[in-house]
Amino acid sequence: GNLATCTHFSMLGAGQISIEDCCKDGQKRGNDNEDCTSLPLISESITCRIVQEQCCVTVLEDNMCTTGINMAKDQGLCDSLFTNTCETKTTKMCCDCCLLGKATQAGDLPCDHNLSVGYQCSLVSRACCVDGAPDNQTTSTPKTECGKCAHDCVANDTCSCFKGYKLKPDGESCEDINECLLGASNCRVGERCINTEAISVARERSCVQWQFCCDFLHPDIDECETGIHNCGPEFECSNSQGSFRCLPNVKCGPGFIQDALGHCIDINECVSQTGPCPRGQLCLNTVGSYMCQRNSVNCGRGYHLNEGSTRCIDIDECKSTERVCAGHGCVNLIGSYRCECEAGYNFNSMSRTCEDINECRHFPGRLCAHKCENNRGSYECSCTTGFKLALDDRNCDDLNECESNPCSQECANVYGSYQCYCRRGYQLSDIDGMTCEDIDECALPTGGHICSYRCHNTPGSFHCSCPVSGYTLSSNGRSCQDIDECVTGTHTCTVNQSCFNVQGEFRCLSFDCPNNYRRVGETVARLQRSDTIRCIKSCQPNDVACVLDPMHSVSHTFISLPTFREFTMPEEIVFLRTTVPAYGSYHLGSYDVKFDILEGNVENAFDILKRVENGMYVGVVRQVKPLIGPLALVLKLSMRNLTTQGDSGQNIINVHVFVSEFWF
């Protein structure tokens, strides 16, 4: 029968978290696909941290391998795992190896092949191959003599195998079944299944709880004994704890070092050792060794051998036929010589010659005031344009060009040059830079902004003018200032009319309230922009229709606008402020305000927005398109109070808009 043995260890002190809990935590986080290298610690024990991480990695690898095996069994291909990432590497390997096992079984080949595909791939391939074979191994086995059966003999002289084994194709031999790869083990969570083969006829499957204690991590597999190593014929397999090593069969002799492939490489003792030869001898490397050779006498530069060729003596270069210093003084030195160079030259110890000193480069800005030009053995100073060389031949004095009257109007001498300039209203010619020409201020690109209305050029100057009526020239002589006829009393409004000043003119306005409405306040002689004429509803007794009319008031307000010269963005012109709290409640129901433009929106040049200011609803009328004056229009605005039951009231506001002909 099957024997499942499960071993548990605890390496933590009393009162601490057990090693099984550490592993369970790692397995849980592995099942949640967390990063096993950065798990939150549940204990200060290093052992617990190791167990956490390894149990987590084991679950992840088992899950990835199971996914690959299931994909191979269900889909029969691994194309979706073509990316070789850390997450798919194990999954793809198990999928490919399982396909290999299924192909082996389909070709009626033995499941135990000798392909060097790796230990884990061989196990997965064999498991998928065995899993695809028929369950009853005895149904198709040929009859044989019972004396030749490896395990047991049943009726009709047919061989059978003990549980945990399957019959080989020869009908007599039995081979082990790896229940761990087939998923037929009874190991609990946190335990790893290890397939083993019993010595007797019994079949054993062990469950080992992975622990980290003392000098072992898990049961070691002797790869050398099982033959699952990859050492070549030139190497000998040597088992180690959890792995193996390949040791070369050939041993290298002295003077050689062995590389990873077992080859013997010569050691260069002349490089690897410090002074292998005595002083005065030269080291020469040989295969497997080295040799020392006596040095020959070689004299360096500035020396030559004596007559006996036993030693080196100095050469007097100053007495040689070659002119080593080229006209300069020569001083012999031991093994060399030196030139005594004249003023303006410097001795170069590398080329052993006298070279010219470039004083201009060695002493920049210190020899000449302006420009320095080097020559052999000396230098010469010169001046830039606008200057002349001083008497000391080093400094430069300014040259006064204005003494020759080069300018048509004014000349200013500056240090090293001169500058022509013109009187106000004139500009310097771009052609010669000396002649002054009249500036047509009105024709300049900014001429339209010099004067508010019209610009008139004059020699050396200009003057501005304003429209014939409604404006006067301001004190700056450029801007046109509107005349307020309502203030100066030059208007023609009657006693029953109100004067409203607009830009460049005025309007005489009078308003009567509709029936059932009465005016609030008296008629004023002069209306300002902030003034409002308001008529509120005043119904006659028993006038039900008047009472039910939702319109509560009719108001008139006024605004004067210019013809915008550059209209780039909406302009806010009127603000309708309410006393309605934003998002408040009114008689246990919601209360809101709606603003609309009913009439007078010429060319859709206006719109109205609702926003909240200081917690209250405000209607903002904006001009969104430019209008060309002169133009007068009336915007009829509606402000409706809304409740959950519908409209509770309406107010009409008539905005009288007067657009001026000009932008000022």
- What is the three-state SS of 183-250? CCCCCCCCEEEEECCCCCCCEEEEEEECCCECCECCCCCCHHHHCCCCCCCCEEEEEECCEEEEEECC
**Rounded distance between C-alpha atoms, residue 583 and residue 360, angstroms:** 84
User: Mean of the pLDDT values across residues 364-375?
Assistant: 90
Amino acid 273: pLDDT: 67
Q: Are strands 498-502 and 526-527 parallel, antiparallel or unpaired?
A: parallel
Q: Residue 516 CA to chain centroid, in angstroms?
A: 71
User: Mean of the pLDDT values across residues 249-277?
Assistant: 81
**Rounded distance between C-alpha atoms, residue 533 and residue 170, angstroms:** 117
Which comes out higher in pLDDT, residue 145 or 316?
316
Q: Is the peptide bond before 626 cis (omega within 30 degrees of 0)?
A: no
User: Mean of the pLDDT values across residues 171-197?
Assistant: 63
* DSSP state string for 413-434: EETTEEEEE--TTEEE-TTTSS
Total Cβ atoms within 10 A of residue 620: 18
- In 3D, which of 452, 422, 454, 453 has the Cα closest to residue 438? 422
Q: Which amino acid is residue 507, in one-letter code?
A: R
Which domains, ranges and CATH numbers included, belong to the chain? Answer: 2-133+178-218 (no CATH), 303-357 (2.10.25.10), 362-398 (2.10.25.10), 401-439 (2.10.25.10), 492-659 (2.60.40.60)
pLDDT single digits (tens) 481-517 = 999 999 998 999 998 888 999 998 999 998 889 989 9
Amino acid 342: pLDDT: 87
- In 3D, which of 371, 328, 363 has the Cα closest to residue 348? 328
Residue 164: CB partners within 8 Å, gap ≥ 6?
2, 176, 177, 179, 202, 203, 204, 205
Q: Looking at the predicted structure, is the pLDDT value of residue 268 above 60?
A: yes
Residue 87: CB partners within 8 Å, gap ≥ 6?
64
Q: Looking at the predicted structure, is the pLDDT value of residue 590 above 70?
A: no
Amino acid 198: pLDDT: 40
Amino acid 57: pLDDT: 86
Buried b (16+ CB within 10 A) or exposed e, 447-461: eeeebbbebebeeee
Four-residue CA torsion sign, 30, 32, 38, 39: negative
Q: Looking at the predicted structure, is the pLDDT value of residue 209 above 50?
A: no
Which comes out higher in pLDDT, residue 453 or 141?
453
Which comes out higher in pLDDT, residue 266 or 308?
266
Q: Looking at the predicted structure, is the pLDDT value of residue 144 above 80?
A: no
Q: Looking at the predicted structure, is the pLDDT value of residue 462 above 60?
A: yes
3-state helix, strand, coil in the chain (%, to 5): 20, 35, 45
Q: Looking at the predicted structure, is the pLDDT value of residue 200 above 80?
A: no
- Per cent of the chain over pLDDT 70 is 83
Split at pLDDT 50, 70, 90, the class of 14 is: very low
**Rounded distance between C-alpha atoms, residue 529 and residue 578, angstroms:** 19
> H helices of 324-413, where?
359-362
Split at pLDDT 50, 70, 90, the class of 607 is: very high
pLDDT single digits (tens) 401-447 = 898 889 999 999 998 899 999 998 899 999 998 999 998 888 887 65
Amino acid 630: pLDDT: 92
pLDDT single digits (tens) 505-553 = 999 998 889 989 998 877 777 878 778 889 999 998 888 888 888 889 9
**Rounded distance between C-alpha atoms, residue 143 and residue 141, angstroms:** 7
Cα Rg of the chain (Å, integer)? 55
507, 536 in Cβ contact below 8 A?
no
Angle (nearest 5°) at CA 138 between 134 and 141: 100
pLDDT single digits (tens) 109-132 = 888 777 777 878 888 888 888 876
**Rounded distance between C-alpha atoms, residue 98 and residue 116, angstroms:** 15
* DSSP state string for 530-546: T-EEEEEE-PPTT-HHH
482, 503 in Cβ contact below 8 A?
yes
Residue in this structure with the two tokens 């010595």, named with its chain if needed: 199
**Rounded distance between C-alpha atoms, residue 322 and residue 314, angstroms:** 17
Amino acid 382: pLDDT: 92
Mean pLDDT of the chain: 80
304, 312 in Cβ contact below 8 A?
yes
Amino acid 183: pLDDT: 53
Residue in this structure with the two tokens 């490397």, named with its chain if needed: 285
- In 3D, which of 497, 499, 498 has the Cα closest to residue 486? 499
**Rounded distance between C-alpha atoms, residue 247 and residue 588, angstroms:** 94
Contacts 24+ apart (CB under 8 A), 131-134: 131/73, 131/101, 131/182, 132/101, 132/102, 132/105, 132/106, 133/105, 133/166
82, 49 in Cβ contact below 8 A?
no
Residue 154 main-chain phi, psi, to 5 deg: -110, -170
434, 408 in Cβ contact below 8 A?
yes
Residue 446: CB partners within 8 Å, gap ≥ 6?
none
pLDDT single digits (tens) 26-61 = 888 888 888 887 788 788 788 888 888 889 988 888
Q: Looking at the predicted structure, is the pLDDT value of residue 599 above 90?
A: yes
**Rounded distance between C-alpha atoms, residue 67 and residue 78, angstroms:** 11
637, 621 in Cβ contact below 8 A?
yes
Contacts 24+ apart (CB under 8 A), 164-169: 164/2, 164/202, 164/203, 164/204, 164/205, 165/203, 166/130, 166/133, 166/137, 167/137, 167/138, 167/141, 169/110
Amino acid 156: pLDDT: 65
**Rounded distance between C-alpha atoms, residue 539 and residue 547, angstroms:** 6
159, 167 in Cβ contact below 8 A?
yes
DSSP, res 296? P
Residue 37: CB partners within 8 Å, gap ≥ 6?
53
Cα–Cα separations (whole angstroms), residue 230 to 224, 227, 242, 258: 9, 8, 15, 19
pTM, full prediction: 0.39
Buried b (16+ CB within 10 A) or exposed e, 218-227: beeeebbeee
Total Cβ atoms within 10 A of residue 410: 13
Q: Which amino acid is residue 219, in one-letter code?
A: P
Amino acid 624: pLDDT: 93
Cα–Cα separations (whole angstroms), residue 594 to 642, 649, 656: 7, 11, 21
